[in-house]
């Protein structure tokens, strides 16, 4: 009986010590996040965004409930000087308003499923070039947007090793501006399994003031309304530790915007909108109607 009691006591102490020591050992392990590229490597993703909010114009209010579901395909088409050229095709997209499917008017110029977006990126996720969005940006109200190097950049992986609990920041420049930037904060939250894959769970936080965003695009148009407010995003992304590729992501967005003034009679002169959104991204085996 005494031996059994001693054994149980020993096992309990070992379990306690193991529980106490494991987080310390995890934090002491360093990881160097890097993208590993292979020509003809293909990844398919599905993204879902559920948005709920309210829009007010004077004394009138309108509840908003929208869902956007789209799938896209990424293919590494070339590697040169340590940089990969990746082609992205949106293979399907559906929108729902208040539970009913909604088909927005589109032309071949602004239909996302007709676009081929080409990105040149290095192993730390630094984007050197983005091509293919010019057609979509030529739609009314978006003509001055210049999606070039930097604006579409994902947050960079740090140069050296990182450990659980580490944080770092990345500045992302806005288009058509010399100094306006968005600062994104990253936190290495944990190492977790996604299926049988070891991943780094990274928290990303950033806030976009609409004054800066509008100054970079729509705000430059003659007679454009004044827009104020903020959009805040908090997301958790799971990166494959072996390849640096995204396996899944989930996040929340909170947006509050006020619009006033403007000389276009078709544009609301005074409007307030508050919206929240749930975002989810998952890697899937194959997308619908894969592009050739």
Bridge partner residues of 272 (DSSP): 56, 258
pLDDT band at 288 (very low <50, low <70, confident <90, very high): very low
Question: Is 16 domain-assigned?
Answer: no
Question: Is 59 domain-assigned?
Answer: yes
Place of tokens 């947007």: 145
Q: Taking residues 198-212, what's their average pLDDT?
A: 88
Residue-wise pLDDT for 221-259, tens only, equals 555 667 789 889 999 999 999 999 999 999 999 999 888
Question: Is 99 domain-assigned?
Answer: yes
Average pLDDT of every residue of the chain: 77
What's the pLDDT score for residue 34?
Answer: 94
Question: Is 87 domain-assigned?
Answer: yes
Residue-wise pLDDT for 10-24, tens only, equals 444 434 333 333 334
Question: Is 20 domain-assigned?
Answer: no
d(CA 15, CA 209): 49
Question: Is 152 domain-assigned?
Answer: yes
What's the pLDDT score for residue 31?
Answer: 94
Task: Please report the sign of the dihedral spanned by the C-alpha atoms of residue 280, residue 281, residue 284, residue 290.
Answer: positive
d(CA 283, CA 245): 10
Question: Is 22 domain-assigned?
Answer: no
Least confident of 69-83, 117-131, 216-230: 216-230
Question: Is 37 domain-assigned?
Answer: yes
* Cα 217–chain centre separation: 20
Q: Which residue has the higher pLDDT, 7 or 282?
A: 282
**Which CATH number covers residue 52?**
2.30.230
What's the pLDDT score for residue 99?
Answer: 85
Whole-number Cα distances in Å, 31 to 38, 82, 203: 21, 20, 16
What's the pLDDT score for residue 194?
Answer: 95
d(CA 259, CA 232): 18
Residue-wise pLDDT for 143-166, tens only, equals 333 333 333 446 689 999 999 999
Q: Taking residues 203-227, what's their average pLDDT?
A: 69
Domain that holds residue 243: 30-284
**Is 188 exposed, middle or buried, given 0-12, 13-18 or 19+ CB atoms closer than 10 A?**
buried
Domain count, the chain: 1
């Amino acid at each position: 009986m005494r031996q059994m009691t001693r054994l149980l006591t020993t096992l309990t102490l070992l379990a306690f010590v193991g529980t106490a020591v494991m987080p310390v050992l995890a934090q002491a392990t360093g990881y160097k996040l890097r993208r590993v590229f292979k020509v003809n490597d293909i990844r398919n993703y599905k993204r879902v965004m559920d948005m709920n909010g309210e829009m007010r114009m004077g004394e009138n209010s309108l509840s908003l409930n929208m869902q956007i579901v789209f799938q896209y395909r990424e293919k590494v088409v070339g590697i040169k000087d340590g940089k990969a050229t990746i082609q992205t095709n949106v293979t399907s997209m559906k929108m729902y308003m208040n539970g009913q499917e909604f088909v927005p008017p589109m032309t071949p110029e602004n239909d996302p499923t007709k676009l081929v977006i080409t990105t040149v990126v290095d192993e730390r996720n630094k984007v050197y070039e983005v091509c293919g969005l010019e057609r979509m940006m030529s739609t009314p109200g978006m003509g001055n947007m210049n999606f070039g190097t930097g604006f579409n950049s994902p947050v960079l992986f740090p140069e050296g090793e990182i450990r659980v609990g580490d944080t770092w920041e990345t500045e992302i420049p806005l288009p058509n501006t010399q100094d306006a930037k968005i600062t994104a904060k990253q936190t290495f939250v944990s190492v977790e399994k996604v299926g049988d894959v070891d991943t780094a769970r990274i928290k990303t936080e950033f806030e976009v003031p609409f004054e800066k965003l509008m100054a970079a695009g729509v705000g430059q148009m003659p007679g454009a309304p004044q827009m104020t407010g903020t959009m805040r995003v908090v997301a958790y992304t799971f990166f494959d530790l072996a390849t640096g590729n995204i396996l899944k992501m989930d996040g929340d967005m909170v947006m509050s915007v006020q619009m006033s003034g403007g000389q276009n009679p078709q544009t609301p002169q005074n409007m307030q909108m508050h919206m929240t959104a749930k975002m989810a991204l998952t890697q899937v085996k194959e997308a619908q109607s894969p592009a050739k």
